[in-house]
Amino acid sequence: MAGRPRDPDLELRLLDAAWSLLTSGGYDALKLSQVASQADAHRTDVYRRWSSKAQLVVDALAEHLPPVAAVDTGTLRSDLRAIVEDFAASWSSEWIDGLMGLLADLQRDPDAELAFRRMAERRGEPLRTAIVRATERGEIGDVPDLALVGDLVEGPLMHHRMLGRQPLTPEFLDAVTVVAWRFLTGALLSADQATP
């Protein structure tokens, strides 16, 4: 007897359900049994694929977070502004209120933590590429510590949204872009040059 045929859409339905529950109720309220129910699946379907809630949520984030586009506008400053805009879309997502719970669970789940770090690295690749390209164009003297640049660009967005509980306005994104650009290029700006 062959058993039940494999459902090719099941994993996507489970990830969609996890994302829906994450954005509507937050990380702490998300239950794997709810994910299964909303996806019209069995709890064993969830546990066969993910051994923890943290692992499921990391995969749901990887599937559903707005992408960070690999842009090449011809200038570092414009590339930075586009990348900052894409990072801001993620930090403005409704899931973000549950981040603290996820981070706490990642400390107890090395596999989920590794998957989260890999997702973050993939999302940071467009920024790293833009920095290397700017170096090749001569806009930057030497390639800086790329991890530090990532923290410099994305850190203020996280802080402003998570701790400051403030929206990420276009003006704030402009300011982050200018600070990062000035740090990377060593440029000094007059007040009328401050907006990208």
Contacts of 87-93 spanning 24+ positions with Cβ under 8 A: 87/123, 87/153, 87/154, 87/157, 88/157, 88/168, 88/173, 90/65, 90/66, 90/123, 91/154, 91/157, 91/158, 91/161, 91/162, 91/168, 92/161, 92/167, 92/168, 93/23, 93/65, 93/66
Give me the DSSP letters along 4-16.
SPP-TTHHHHHHH
Give me the DSSP letters along 69-128.
-----SSHHHHHHHHHHHHHHHHTSGGGGGHHHHHHHHHH-HHHHHHHHHHHHHHHHHHH
Domains recognised in the chain with CATH numbers? 10-53 (1.10.10.60), 65-193 (1.10.357.10)
Amino acid 191: pLDDT: 43
Distance between CA atoms of 42 and 35, rounded to whole angstroms? Answer: 9
Rounded to two decimals, what is the model's pTM? 0.82
Amino acid 124: pLDDT: 93
Amino acid 61: pLDDT: 93
Task: Check: CB of residue 49 under 8 Å from CB of residue 11.
Answer: yes
> For residue 80, which of 171, 188, 182 has the smallest C-alpha distance?
182
Consecutive 10-residue averages of pLDDT for the chain (196 residues): 64 96 91 96 94 94 92 95 95 82 91 93 94 93 86 93 91 96 77 49
Amino acid 188: pLDDT: 58
Q: Dihedral of the CA atoms 183, 145, 88, 75 (nearest 10)?
A: 60
Task: Check: CB of residue 34 under 8 Å from CB of residue 53.
Answer: no
CA angle 113, 115, 120 (to 5 degrees): 95
In the structure encoding, which two tokens stand for residue 53, read together?
Answer: 């809630």
Amino acid 141: pLDDT: 87
Task: Check: CB of residue 179 under 8 Å from CB of residue 102.
Answer: no
Amino acid 6: pLDDT: 62
Amino acid 4: pLDDT: 52
Amino acid 34: pLDDT: 96
